[in-house]
């Protein structure tokens, strides 16, 4: 039996379906992320697990016990909020010890546990400070310690890092994962940041318009997106217009230039298709060893830290744009804007999507191929 289970959960606000047919089973100690754009229902689902919202139908159980109608203060679920929600009138130590005080633990036990948690979140000297005396990152660490203090059955995190700056965000997410692994606590994490979800989670639930689009490991979600939405939302995706030349032999044209895929696909000659291609599959330079190559004009070059992202208008200005990522290294020779360049990609890189049925399973297409 799974540790945390949501069965056929639905939530309606009047006529609006915030969450539909949500089914999830998480094992003890698993780290699950809900990933999706704003308004996709991920926070509503989290709030239903916390007990702040009642499902319109369906059930939620923790450790085999149905908690669908159990009030939030009796669920034994810890929650970390985007706005930290620390009690401004209490010191850091009092904030962390609040849940234990509610549970009427002896003062010496509370003191010991608070000290332990302050160590865990790397704030051993800050117990006597007030929240306003701490930085955003420190406040969120305190919020995490507070949520963990009473040893909850499930830890819920609602976009806990989105109010922090980029560097602290990365550092803190590693800390969260490390603490979660150390304590082995079942965790549900809500985020709209795909990098966060992919780097932290054992499994990711991608959501859109109140529905689960796909549930899988970060590897599965990124490499085998089951819907066009997942493919476009997770990572950057080139979707190029193609025309079928010989589907059986995997031949088509993109911007009038021939492309050959590793295997055939379905489609009659002259039919328009969409070709999905990850930027990291595309490299600058002419093709070697039977790779595909396309020629176009550079329309943009941007530095993204460890990678350099180039946009190439295939066949010249006004043509479909392919995004190409190169690792940023000192020997990299970057083209100038308007330069004519050739890009290459392997035959097994692209996936062919049917433009009239855009939400067809990409995974199935791969399997068929």
Partner 1 sequence: MNDTRPKSVLTRLVSWVIFVGISLYFLVPLFATFLQSIKPKPNGVPDPTLAYRTVLGLQGFYVGLGYSFAIGVITILISLLIIVPTAYWVRLRAPRLRPVVEFVTLLPFVIPPVVYVFGLIRTYGSPPFLLLATNTGSDTVLVGAYVILSFPYMYRAVDTGLAAIDVRSLTEASQSLGAGWTRILLRVILPNIRTAILSGAFLTLAIVVGEFTIATYLARNWAFGPYLSLLGRTQPYTPAVVTLISFALTWIAMLLIAFIGRGSRTRVQVAGAR
Binding site for partner 1 (CB under 8 A): 50-52, 71-79, 81, 83-89, 98-99, 102-103, 130-132, 134-137, 139, 143, 146-147, 150, 156, 163-165, 168
Q: Rounded to the nearest 5°, which phi and psi values hold at 35?
A: -120, 135
CB of 43 to partner 1, least distance (A): 12
CB of 170 to partner 1, least distance (A): 13
Q: Which is nearer to partner 1, 75 or 278 (CB)?
A: 75
- DSSP assignment of 84-138, as one string? ----TTS-HHHHHHHHHHHTT--HHHHHHHHHHHHHHTT-TT-TTS-GGGS-HHH
Q: Could you count the other beta carbons within 10 Å of the beta carbon of residue 125?
A: 9
> Is residue 250 a contact partner of residue 256, using CB atoms and an 8 Å limit?
no
What gap in Å lies between CA 344 and CA 295, rounded to an integer?
9
> Is residue 262 a contact partner of residue 321, using CB atoms and an 8 Å limit?
no
CB of 219 to partner 1, least distance (A): 32
CB of 114 to partner 1, least distance (A): 13
CB of 210 to partner 1, least distance (A): 22
Q: Which is nearer to partner 1, 153 or 361 (CB)?
A: 153
> Is residue 160 a contact partner of residue 200, using CB atoms and an 8 Å limit?
no
CB of 117 to partner 1, least distance (A): 13
Count of helix runs (H) and strand runs (E) in the chain = 9, 20
Q: Which is nearer to partner 1, 92 or 255 (CB)?
A: 92
CB of 60 to partner 1, least distance (A): 15
Q: Could you count the other beta carbons within 10 Å of the beta carbon of residue 248?
A: 11
CB of 12 to partner 1, least distance (A): 18
Q: Which is nearer to partner 1, 94 or 325 (CB)?
A: 94
What gap in Å lies between CA 81 and CA 86, rounded to an integer?
9
Q: Which is nearer to partner 1, 164 or 308 (CB)?
A: 164
Question: Which residue in the block uniquely carries the two structure tokens 């991920």?
Answer: 42
User: Beta partners for 124?
Assistant: none
CB of 113 to partner 1, least distance (A): 13
Q: Which is nearer to partner 1, 97 or 319 (CB)?
A: 97
Dihedral of CA atoms 73, 77, 81, 85 in degrees, nearest 10, equals 40
Among the listed residues 22, 18, 8, 103, the one whose alpha carbon sits nearest the alpha carbon of residue 57: 8
Q: How far is CA 105 from the centre of its chain?
A: 38
Q: Which is nearer to partner 1, 31 or 98 (CB)?
A: 98
User: Beta partners for 295?
Assistant: 342
HSE, side-chain direction, 13 A CA sphere, residue 277? 30
Q: Which is nearer to partner 1, 173 or 297 (CB)?
A: 173
Cα angle: 170, vertex 127, 157; to 5 degrees = 40
CB of 142 to partner 1, least distance (A): 11
Q: Which is nearer to partner 1, 88 or 330 (CB)?
A: 88
User: Beta partners for 239?
Assistant: 276
Q: Which is nearer to partner 1, 103 or 356 (CB)?
A: 103
Strands 238-246 and 272-277: antiparallel
């Amino acid at each position: 039996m799974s540790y945390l289970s949501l069965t056929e959960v639905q939530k309606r606000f009047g006529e609006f379906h915030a969450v539909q047919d949500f089914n999830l089973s998480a094992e003890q100690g698993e780290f699950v992320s809900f990933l999706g754009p704003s308004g996709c229902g991920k926070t509503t689902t989290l709030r239903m697990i916390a007990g702040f919202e009642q499902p319109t139908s369906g059930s939620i159980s923790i450790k085999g016990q149905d908690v669908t109608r159990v009030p939030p203060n009796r669920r034994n679920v810890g929650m970390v909020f985007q706005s930290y929600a620390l009690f401004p009138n209490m010191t850091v130590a009092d904030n962390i010890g609040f849940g234990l005080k509610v549970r009427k633990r002896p003062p010496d036990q509370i003191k010991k546990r608070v000290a332990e948690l302050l160590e865990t979140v790397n704030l051993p000297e800050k117990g006597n400070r007030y929240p306003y005396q701490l930085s955003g990152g420190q406040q969120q660490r305190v919020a995490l310690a507070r949520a963990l203090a009473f040893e909850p059955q499930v830890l819920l995190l609602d976009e806990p890092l989105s109010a922090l700056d980029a560097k602290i965000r990365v550092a803190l997410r590693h800390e969260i994962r490390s603490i979660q692994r150390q304590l082995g606590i079942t965790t549900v994490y809500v985020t709209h940041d795909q990098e966060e979800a992919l780097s932290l989670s054992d499994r990711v639930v991608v959501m859109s318009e109140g529905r689960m689009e796909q549930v899988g490991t970060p590897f599965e979600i990124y490499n085998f997106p089951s819907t066009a939405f997942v493919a476009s939302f997770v990572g950057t995706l080139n979707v190029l217009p193609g025309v079928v030349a010989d589907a059986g032999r995997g031949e088509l044209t993109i911007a009038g230039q021939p492309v050959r895929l590793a295997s055939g696909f379905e489609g009659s000659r002259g039919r328009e298709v969409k070709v999905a291609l990850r930027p990291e599959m595309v490299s600058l330079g002419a093709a070697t060893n039977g790779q595909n190559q396309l020629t176009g004009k550079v329309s943009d070059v941007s530095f993204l830290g460890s990678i350099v992202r180039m946009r190439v208008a295939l066949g010249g200005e006004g043509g479909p744009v392919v995004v190409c990522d190169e690792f940023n290294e000192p020997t990299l020779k970057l083209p100038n804007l308007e330069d004519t360049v050739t890009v290459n990609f392997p035959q097994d890189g692209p996936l062919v999507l049917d433009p009239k049925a855009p939400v067809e399973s990409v995974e199935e297409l791969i399997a068929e191929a």
